[in-house]
Structure 1
């Protein structure tokens, strides 16, 4: 009896890593990885929380060829940038001096296709879900429209171009978290059709007390600010502070009074 084997992908924080495609994916966002970076990340995923030495990475990724001493650190740096990670306070990839590297959050392999033996169960669940949706549609034909959330790119107002990569990484993190909100539709530009009820999230990278920080302000149509947040100073704490702040904003948006339903 033949059993189909599902392809693997790995969950790393908010990202899904697809080794066959050399890509990181989060919602609609795609980040293409260079081949050696993808193979290195795949090795770290397979070893799940174990220390992988630089020599092992060279043997696996470069097939044991002689490479520059900086080759592996450069690839690790590229992976950290793609994941929005920080070497000084890592969320994903940890450097252990003179020992190697380790993926902190043990990635879980995820099935991308159901095995044949389970297809009947997934089919039954899909049918039940359809029945429930039809019932909801009969009971409430006009659904509450999602809140439009406008998220312009993070502005680097530090006055230093060296912080631009940090601004771009923060922007990607904000977009990923916003796309996970319930009842919210995310835009880069104000949607003309829903401009009268769109919420705008203004994000800026600034220098505060000599260290970079991110300020966030959510505005309703007309410019009324109803929510603000600011990270503590320092690059290392920005990702964690942004995740916590966006969690608070998401709860506020989900629990806010819904606008009156309108027919198209």
Structure 2
């Protein structure tokens, strides 16, 4: 049976399963096939069109299907889209399974030549760190957002797949926001904004409502999308960009 090593994980394509010690995580079929494709071309950028052709085999689907599957894989691997260890998003190109470079043999010790270089590199590293701190600050200085799963308020279990897809899209888009610290479900930060979302039927149409609430319960931002099953996931990206701008503006006040 073919297996692939992904950091601490072992991926078994034939079993659709990730393994780490005694831990087992079952992957949905399309997620497993996507990961298998990434593993087979580790280090290469795989375009969304290539993933659609190989995994969905040309069947008509939503444009958000690939980002949703990538988000599911990152969740299973405990990866972070903004600080990836395994799956990297290459802007406007696609996705890449990151490959760790082989360790280089240690160089022979030459005290007279290496010491000035080491001191210079150390000083440069300190300068870069100080500059980064001055420009961006620590993670604790960023606005924090807790993304909660979408709730099915339609009273119809037939819409649960759309609810699940919308939840995955919310998290995937949140992880792409610049200057915002993202948490899934809960956060130790007392100042974190909580994003709650509901799918319901309003005037006979499917509607997704999102509400970003401050710790005191007051509403910071709301977003609403009404339309069919194809429109709602497509609108989530636009709504999340609006929320990101509101969070950064609120933090700057």
Q: Could you state the TM-score of these two structures normalised by the residue count of structure 2?
A: 0.55
Please list every run of 5 or more consecutive structure 2 residues that lacks an aligned counterpart in the other structure: 18-24, 67-91, 105-119
TM alignment of 1:17-28, pairs within 5 A? none
CA drift of 1:154 comes to: 1.2
CA gap of 1:254–1:114, structure 2 versus 1, over 3 A, is: farther
> Counterpart of 1:171?
167
CA drift of 1:173 comes to: 1.6
CA drift of 1:76 comes to: 4.5
Q: Which of 165, 183, 186 is the equivalent residue of 2:183? A: 186
CA gap of 1:114–1:131, structure 2 versus 1, over 3 A, is: farther
CA drift of 1:156 comes to: 0.5
Equivalent residue pairs, number:
195
CA gap of 1:212–1:127, structure 2 versus 1, over 3 A, is: farther
Instruction: Confirm or deny: 8 A CA contact 1:208 1:233 kept in the other structure.
Output: no
Counterpart check, 1:147 vs 2:134? no
Q: Could you state the TM-score of these two structures normalised by the residue count of structure 1?
A: 0.53
- CA-atom RMSD, angstroms? 4.9
TM alignment of 1:1-264, pairs within 5 A? 32-33=26-27, 38-39=32-33, 42=36, 49=49, 76=56, 87=60, 89-92=62-65, 107-114=94-101, 131-135=127-131, 145-181=141-177, 182-189=179-186, 191=188, 194=190, 197-258=191-252
Instruction: Confirm or deny: 8 A CA contact 1:178 1:186 kept in the other structure.
Output: no
Please list every run of 5 or more consecutive structure 1 residues that lacks an aligned counterpart in the other structure: 1-6, 10-17, 25-30, 58-74, 78-85, 94-104, 118-123, 260-264
Q: Secondary structure at the match of 1:113?
A: coil
- Per-residue deviation, residues 48-68 of structure 1 (Å, max 9, x unmatched): 647999xxx8xxxxxxxxxxx
Distance, in Å, in 2 between the alignment partners of 1:148 and 1:227 is 14
Distance, in Å, in 2 between the alignment partners of 1:252 and 1:167 is 24
